[in-house]
Structure 1
Amino acid sequence: MNFLIVVITFFTMEGITWLIHKYIMHGLLWKLHKDHHDHSNEGHMEKNDYFFVIFAVPTIVLMYLGTMQGFNFYFYIALGITLYGMAYFFVHDIFIHQRIKVLRDTQNPYLLAIRRAHKQHHKHTGKEHGECFGFLWVPVKYFRMYFNKKKA
């Protein structure tokens, strides 16, 4: 049952991430996310990086509450969120934005589709008219672009 909680939480985070990205990062907290789109910060860190801290706080609270009287469901929810956050970091910051230069020449259709959708998201430098707010699942048209090439 605990494993199921972790898996369900991990995949639920995709929808939550989409909502947060579209309505909070491109809405109320655009000031923090803006430099991620317009590259106005020339250092290694961006204001956008504060979202890691913002998202970590509720996870830490859940993990704490989940360990106060043995391991309860709060802990496993926090574990699912943590695993999603790690996946997000590796795919978004390392693979897509190449903060560490790896997988530059991948031919994996799934990774290429995610990279392409993210490029479409970044073509909009303002907070309006955005697209592709997802992370692990993006519009099907991007998957078709690369999976159909494999069949040809």
Structure 2
Amino acid sequence: MMLFIGSTLFGFALLEGLSYGLHRWLFHGILWPIHKTHHHPHKQRIEWNDSFSVIFGSLSALWFLIPHLIPLSKTWAVACTGIGTGWTIYGVIYFVVHDVFTHRRYFRRWKTDSKWVHRLVKAHRDHHKDLSKPGAEPFGLFWVDPKKYKY
């Protein structure tokens, strides 16, 4: 059980690190033509940038499939399942914080008193103030500078 919990936490943290790097250097780099649909105002419910969520969701599912596709020890199978669980939890929380509370794309009546969520919303909106390709910090979603964004 500890291996599963540890690998779940590791998977969540790993995806936040990967998301930061991908967002900063690829989404605001070579993938900007797709990602800019997220940074510029529009009236569509779906944007090209949503394709990245489909990719991350597929990769999350892959973590669950790996133990069935490759012969692994029970330890590695549990670790892969934990990482997949961490990625899935990340995706669900990302959707709620990013699409529901930050951009109000869905469930517009939902409100929260969570200071943590308000901190993340403010940080992400600061990121969106710069509409240029180079972009602006913070590029991550769940880790933001605690000195700049206080509860």
Q: Normalised by the size of structure 2, how large is the TM-score? A: 0.84
- Which of the numbers 4, 7, 10 marks the counterpart of 2:6? 4
Q: Which amino acid aligns with 1:38?
A: H
Match of 1:25 in 2: 27
Q: Give the whole-Å Cα distance in 2 for the aligned partners of 1:51 and 1:122.
A: 18
In the TM superposition, what are the counterparts of 1:133-152 in structure 2 within 5 Å? Answer: 133-144=139-150, 147=151
Percent identity between the aligned chains?
A: 32
Segment of structure 1 superposing worse, 9-18 or 61-70: 61-70
Number of residue pairs aligned between Structure 1 and Structure 2: 142
Say whether 1:65 aligns with 2:48: no
RMSD: 1.9
Say whether 1:115 aligns with 2:116: no
Q: CA deviation at 1:107?
A: 4.3
Q: Which runs of 4+ in 1 moved over 4 A?
A: 68-71
Q: Give the whole-Å Cα distance in 2 for the aligned partners of 1:138 and 1:12.
A: 15
Q: CA deviation at 1:75?
A: 2.0
5+ long unaligned stretches in structure 2: none
- Contact 1:66 1:76 (8 Å CA) reproduced: no
Q: Which amino acid aligns with 1:90?
A: V
- Contact 1:6 1:79 (8 Å CA) reproduced: yes
